């Protein structure tokens, strides 16, 4: 039996990761979430019917909470964080406090345990996005070892990236100093059902369901990649279960898809998946600072655990649209 803690377990990645890990009868899960963003919706309640998973509603920035946690976990996936661009502008000081403090408390808690679990920390591609803005160059595809950059400390947009940058350093040096295995992952555009309502695909799903005319597309010629959530959580689990990520310094690993697609072609695929095409498209420029291309180098994860994404964009978009059609924003 493997005992696994998932912080932020009611959120997008946490929920799908829990679903994936429960497929193994030998896993017992504890999810911790303060439900700031994650919700006790029908999907989560269905998941919680399994008696090998429980949810603790708690705030990870409350240091007293850790005294009540069991001390025999084998794995900890630390996903809890405030993310979503609107929060960076609305309460940058809270983004900094919550993301950094919860990580420090998790690390201090692990440090004090006699049986130390393996830790997965979710960083972000945002941690290196500032390098492009500051120096106007980044290798494409982008490998893990590029500089992490906060291009403007006064711009609230970079608070989240700042917490990921310092978070990576905390994990690297705590793991080495207190000798516990850990891996840092940088998710690149995970998508799928139950991802909130703010990102591009959830937003398009809702506008398609309303049959919006004309259908507005921002930054039509910019390219992006999209990694379907079931592929993504499998990648995280493989990295955590692999001996190849047990050494020091800890490994930092990109998880993403390498099939680049322009936003206008993505829209066409989404219309096909939904079975509706608008009569008129309207193209508008993307917001200032938006990059033309973003592409992760995923050769490291291939080498470490042999993972490559397997869900086609067509299948993933169909599943995503169907979920959002059945779960419109309230």
Positions touching ligand NAD (CB under 6 A) are 8, 10-14, 32-38, 59-61, 79-83, 98, 102, 122, 124, 187, 189-190, 196
Among 288, 287, 266, residue whose Cα is nearest residue 215? 266
Between CA 191 and CA 209 the distance in angstroms is 18
Among 285, 288, 281, residue whose Cα is nearest residue 267? 281
Nearest approach in angstroms of CB 280 to ligand NAD is 31
119 in Cβ contact with 181 (< 8 Å): yes
Nearer to ligand NAD, 189 or 230 (CB): 189
13 in Cβ contact with 187 (< 8 Å): yes
Between CA 117 and CA 190 the distance in angstroms is 26
Nearest approach in angstroms of CB 306 to ligand NAD is 22
The length of the chain, given as a count of residues: 330
CB neighbours of 64 closer than 8 A, spacing ≥ 6? Answer: none
Nearer to ligand NAD, 60 or 165 (CB): 60
Nearest approach in angstroms of CB 292 to ligand NAD is 19
Nearest approach in angstroms of CB 35 to ligand NAD is 5
Nearest approach in angstroms of CB 114 to ligand NAD is 25
Question: Which single residue is written with the structure tokens 């066409």?
Answer: 268
Between CA 315 and CA 304 the distance in angstroms is 27
CB neighbours of 4 closer than 8 A, spacing ≥ 6? Answer: 21, 27, 28, 29, 30, 73, 74, 75, 76, 77
Sign of CA dihedral 303, 247, 100, 135: negative
Nearest residue to ligand NAD, scored by beta-carbon proximity: 11
Nearer to ligand NAD, 13 or 148 (CB): 13
Nearest approach in angstroms of CB 277 to ligand NAD is 27
Nearer to ligand NAD, 10 or 200 (CB): 10
Between CA 87 and CA 104 the distance in angstroms is 21
Nearest approach in angstroms of CB 199 to ligand NAD is 8
């Amino acid at each position: 039996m493997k005992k696994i803690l998932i912080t932020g377990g009611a959120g997008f990645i946490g929920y799908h990761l829990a679903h994936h890990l429960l497929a193994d009868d030998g896993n017992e899960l504890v999810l911790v979430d303060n439900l700031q963003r994650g919700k006790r919706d029908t999907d989560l309640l269905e998941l919680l019917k399994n008696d090998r998973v429980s949810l603790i509603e708690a705030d990870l920035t409350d240091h007293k909470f850790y005294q009540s946690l069991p001390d025999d976990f084998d794995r900890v996936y630390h996903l809890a964080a405030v993310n979503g661009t609107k929060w960076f502008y609305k309460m940058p000081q809270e983004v900094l406090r919550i993301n950094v403090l919860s990580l420090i408390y998790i690390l201090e808690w692990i440090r004090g345990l006699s049986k130390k679990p393996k830790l997965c920390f979710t960083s972000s591609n945002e941690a290196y996005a500032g390098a492009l803005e500051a120096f106007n160059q980044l290798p494409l595809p982008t490998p893990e070892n590029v500089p992490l950059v906060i291009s403007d400390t006064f711009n609230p947009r970079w608070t989240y990236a700042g917490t990921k940058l310092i978070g990576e350093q905390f994990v690297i040096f705590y793991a080495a100093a207190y000798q516990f295995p850990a891996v840092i992952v940088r998710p690149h555009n995970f998508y799928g059902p139950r991802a909130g309502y703010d990102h591009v695909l959830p937003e398009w799903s809702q506008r398609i369901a309303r049959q919006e005319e004309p259908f507005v597309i921002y930054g039509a010629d910019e390219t992006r990649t999209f990694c379907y959530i079931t592929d993504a959580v499998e990648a995280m689990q493989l990295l955590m279960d692999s001996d190849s990520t047990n050494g020091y310094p800890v490994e930092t690993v990109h998880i993403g898809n390498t099939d680049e697609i322009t936003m206008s072609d993505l829209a066409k695929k989404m219309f096909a998946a939904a079975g509706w095409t608008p009569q008129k498209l309207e193209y508008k420029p993307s917001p200032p600072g938006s990059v033309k291309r973003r592409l992760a180098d995923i050769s490291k994860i291939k080498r470490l655990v042999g993972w490559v994404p397997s869900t086609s964009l067509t299948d993933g978009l169909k599943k995503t649209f169907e979920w959002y059609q059945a779960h419109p924003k309230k």
